[in-house]
Structure 1
Amino acid sequence: MKTLKGPSIFLSQFITDNPPFNSLDSLAVWAAGLGYKAVQIPTHLPHIFDLAKAAQSLEYCAEIRAVLAKSGLEISELSTHLQGQLVAVHPAYDAAFSGFAPPEVAHDASARQQWAVNSLKQAARASQNLGLKAHATFSGALAWPYFYPWPPRNEQLIDEAFRELAARWLPILNSFDEAGVDVCFELHPGEDLHDGVTFERFLALVDNHPRCNILYDPSHMLLQHMDYLGFIDHYHARIKAFHVKDAEFQTSAKSGVYAGYQPWIDRAGRFRSLGDGQINFKGIFSKLAQYDYAGWATLEWECCLKSGDAGAREGAKFIVDHIIPVADYAFDDFANSKSETSAVRRMLGLEE
């Protein structure tokens, strides 16, 4: 059995133009001061982390590791959530997602997609250069406008959307395979991969690719009313990254899981800081220990009420308190005894 690693913290929600949140060096000092042991680094901000340079330069990667090591930190994973989103964008979302790409390709769907694919392949090489084993991303979406279909479900449309999604991702998965790194899709509403059924559908179309894996985030499952503990039983072999994020669903007479276009604070389902929501993290950490999850437990702070500073400070201790140092022997080993075959057969009444 293995003890999972942590705590790590996803930096995306904390980066600003103001110190200490405007450089990797100062972010590292801040995170280490809160008790974190690693950081998950977004790759769309070159002043924080230059993805193109990391894909090409072992020297630059060594510099990044040294910056973090000064504060006693390492990298849990790189993240390409924004770039992954752009691998597949339905035309209805062209304007909404155009800001995720550089200006020169933002309004050219084909060029934007190619930029995203190239960025993912750079992330594979950068992860390899940094000695990482897992990578966090989104799948993008072509079928999402039809997630609750009216007119009724068009199976041919969904089939074609997933075939196209698989065709776009297969070369990326192959690049990560060459790099020895797992692609971990965060299953998230708004992505075509948002639950176990959609992940399985995609997995079959990429021929059960060994690098097609899951970033487990129970908050998105609770808000979809999924059994997030049972999910681990079904998919533990594919869970290679873990966002520790809390959520709550307060049943409302006015709106439900679709949220009624309301701001987060008014929704029935809301993200909360660790310990303030409804998720059974004792059960989650127990199951991950049971199934030998050996990756990182990474705080992703999103909360409609509590400040990020408080959420990050409390989150480090919360994760530490939930990590289970797994036993290296069974508690009843002291009473175990070995028997020869003849003795065992006598115990079973098979020999006199």
Structure 2
Amino acid sequence: MKTIKGPALFLAQFADDKAPFNNLKNITTWAASIGYKAVQIPTWDARLIDLQRAAEDMDYVNEIKAVVKEAGLEISDFSTHLQGQLVAVHPAYNEMFDAFAPKELAGDLKGKSEWATQQLRWAAKASHNFGLKTHATFSGALMWHTVYPWPQRPTGLVDTGFEELAKRWLPILDEFDKYGVDVCYELHPGEDLHDGVTFEKFLEKVNNHKRANILYDPSHFVLQCLNYLDFIDIYHDRIKMFHVKDAEFNPTGRQGVYGGYSGWVERAGRFRSLGDGQVDFNGIFSKLSQYDFDGWAVLEWECALKHPENGAIEGAKFISEKIIRVTEKTFDDFASTGADENFNRKILGIS
């Protein structure tokens, strides 16, 4: 068995124009000061990294490595959540996703997809340049507007949707394969890959591509009422990344999973800081350790109530206490009778 690495911190929710969150040097120094050992870097945030330079300029790569090392940290992974979203966008969401791409691509659905695909290609090379083996992203969505089948979905629509999604992602997956990096899709409502069934449909269409893997985040499964512990038993071979994020689901006589268009504070299902929600992290860390998960336990802070700095400080301690230092011994070794084939055969009554 392997011991999970951590704690690490996803920087997306913390990057800001105000110090100490305004550049990579300051934010990594701060993260280290509150107990983190690594950071996961969002590649769309120019305050933290220039993705194209990270793919093309090894001097720049070494500069970034030096900044992170000086803070006493490692880089756990890079993320292209926003770019991955744009690989596949239904026209109904076109304008809503304009903010995820350069201004000159506003309203240009095809242009944004092509830009996003190039971003992912750079992310593959950048990950290789930094010696990283996993990469976090979203799948995008062509079918999300049909998730609740009313009106009834036309026959073959889902199959056609996954074929198109696979068509867009296969060249990207091949690019990541060229550099020996796993693409880890965060299974997330709003994405076509949002649970085990949709991941399996996608996997079938990309010919079980070995680079198509999972970023496991139990908070999204709590809000879907999905058995997130059973999920690990089923998909542990494909789980290559882990976001440690808490959530709670408290349905009432007025609202349930869909939340009645309420804001996050008023919803029945909402994200919480670690330890404030309902996720069974003892069970999760046990199962991931059982299945030899050797990646990073990465805090993704999202909470409707608590201040992010408090969430980050508490989260580092929370993760450190949940990581199981796996044993190299068997607890009943003291009673061992040793290895003796003849003795074993005698016990079994085998002549």
TM-score (norm 2): 0.98
Q: 1:281-292 to 2 correspondence within 5 Å?
A: 281-292=281-292
Contact 1:249 1:269 in 2 (8 A): yes
Q: 1:1-352 to 2 correspondence within 5 Å?
A: 1-351=1-351
Q: For 1:213-265, what per-residue CA distance to the aligned partner results, in whole angstroms no more than 9, with x for missing partners? A: 00000000000000000100000010000000000011211111111111000
Counterpart of 2:241, as a letter, is A
Contact 1:13 1:302 in 2 (8 A): yes
CA distance in 1: counterparts of 2:249 and 2:47, whole angstroms: 37
Alpha-carbon distance, 1:46 to partner: 2.0
Aligned-residue identity in percent = 61
Q: RMSD in angstroms over aligned alpha carbons?
A: 0.9
Contact 1:100 1:106 in 2 (8 A): no
CA distance in 2: counterparts of 1:47 and 1:224, whole angstroms: 34
Counterpart of 2:78, as a letter, is L
Q: For 1:152-204, what per-residue CA distance to the aligned partner results, in whole angstroms no more than 9, with x for missing partners? A: 23341111110000010000000000111100000000000000000000001
CA distance in 1: counterparts of 2:339 and 2:119, whole angstroms: 59
Contact 1:88 1:140 in 2 (8 A): yes
CA distance in 2: counterparts of 1:142 and 1:301, whole angstroms: 27
Question: Structure 2 vs 1, CA of residues 346 and 187 (structure 1 numbering), >3 Å: closer, same or farther?
Answer: same
Alpha-carbon distance, 1:340 to partner: 4.0
Alpha-carbon distance, 1:347 to partner: 1.5
Alpha-carbon distance, 1:106 to partner: 2.6
CA distance in 1: counterparts of 2:10 and 2:280, whole angstroms: 21
CA distance in 1: counterparts of 2:346 and 2:294, whole angstroms: 42
Counterpart of 1:249, as a letter, is F
Alpha-carbon distance, 1:348 to partner: 1.5
4+ aligned runs moved over 4 Å, structure 1: none
SS at match of 1:111: helix
Question: Structure 2 vs 1, CA of residues 296 and 155 (structure 1 numbering), >3 Å: closer, same or farther?
Answer: farther
SS at match of 1:304: coil
Aligned length: 351
SS at match of 1:136: strand
Alpha-carbon distance, 1:339 to partner: 4.5
Give the gaps of 5 or more residues in structure 1.
Answer: none
Contact 2:251 2:257 in 1 (8 A): no
Alpha-carbon distance, 1:40 to partner: 0.5
Contact 1:81 1:137 in 2 (8 A): yes
CA distance in 2: counterparts of 1:26 and 1:45, whole angstroms: 15
SS at match of 1:237: coil
Counterpart of 1:38, as a letter, is A
